[in-house]
Amino acid sequence: MCFAATGSLLAQESRYFVTYNHHLEDSGDLELGVSSTIGVPRSGQRAYFAPYSEFEYGVTRWRTSELYLESQSTSGDSSLFTGWRLENRFRPLAAEHALNPVLYLEYENINEASRIEKEIVGKTPLDNQSNAELSQAHAHELEAKLILSSDVGHWNVAENLIVERNLTKNEGFEFGYAFGVSRPLITHSSQVICRFCRKNFVAGMEFYGGLGSSLSFGLQETAHYAAPVVSWRVSDHSWIQFSAAAGLTRNSNPLLLRVGYRYEVEDFRKKVAAILGDSHWF
């Protein structure tokens, strides 16, 4: 029973940094997260540190909304706020199926200094522009994803097809992909209660990259990564994630290091309504 409860909790949390699966936030729950992406550069490029905050809310059983606030700091340059994103994920089928589709739509109000690498789309030419130059180029973008995900035994397999459109300038439709597979380190029952037990860990692998655009489709000048990822539940309501993504092409960073912490507030809607004395305010 102890393992079943832990497994249920792990099934709801994000197992990946880039790839999305079909598990949404429970209705009325709020998840708070802080994550960072560290880009290890090629020769002649600069290392960067890109932290971001996440606020994920279960609006209904079939819809989850999430707000991102992001920033960036480049070695030998400067630090700056790079913008915000608002995403919505919709799951049309409530029951579990062999293949579970989720529709994703995101609006991005960011500048070209953004480095959180939440998705890789289009082409990625290498450049040495400063943060001051990049921050002057603002982008209003719409991003859509078709998320296909399956739970096969204790395994999760997820595929994402990505289309992004810059509303500020004509870059065509940019395409990308993400693929992830993961499972708990152990799947049998355990009566041992500890934080470092294998039952509290989920390990997986992600692959993601760009596929060019409608103006120039293909793999030329695109970035691609292979990334092992580990999730560790450190308490009943919080977990830490780690990932080290290896760049597979010349236009990729040699290494992307990612770390994230998430905390889940169960029944957030009911708790706030109880404080305000109104159960219908949101």
DSSP β-bridge partners for residue 108: 85, 141
In this structure, is residue 184 part of a structural domain?
yes
What pLDDT is attached to residue 211? 97
What pLDDT is attached to residue 278? 64
Q: Which long-range contacts (CB under 8 A, 24 or more apart) does 159-162 make?
A: 159/19, 160/19, 160/20, 160/104, 160/208, 162/119, 162/121
In this structure, is residue 46 part of a structural domain?
yes
In this structure, is residue 243 part of a structural domain?
yes
In this structure, is residue 124 part of a structural domain?
yes
CA distance 101 to 79: 38
In this structure, is residue 40 part of a structural domain?
yes
Where in the sequence is the domain holding 247, given as residue range(s)? 2-276
Domain count, the chain: 1
CATH number at residue 67: 2.40.160.40
Q: Is 215 helix (H, G, I), strand (E, B) or coil?
A: coil
In this structure, is residue 269 part of a structural domain?
yes
Residues of the chain with pLDDT under 50: 1-11
Phi-psi region of 27 (alpha: psi -120 to 50; beta: other; left: phi over 0): beta
In this structure, is residue 44 part of a structural domain?
yes
CA distance 273 to 254: 48
| pLDDT digit string, tens, across residues 8-44 | 444 456 789 999 999 999 999 999 999 999 999 887 7
What pLDDT is attached to residue 11? 43
Residue 277 CB-density burial (10 A; 0-12 exposed, 13-18 middle, 19+ buried): exposed
In this structure, is residue 282 part of a structural domain?
no
| pLDDT digit string, tens, across residues 246-258 | 999 999 999 999 9
What pLDDT is attached to residue 43? 78
DSSP β-bridge partners for residue 212: 122, 217
Name the maximum alpha-carbon separation found in the chain.
Answer: 59
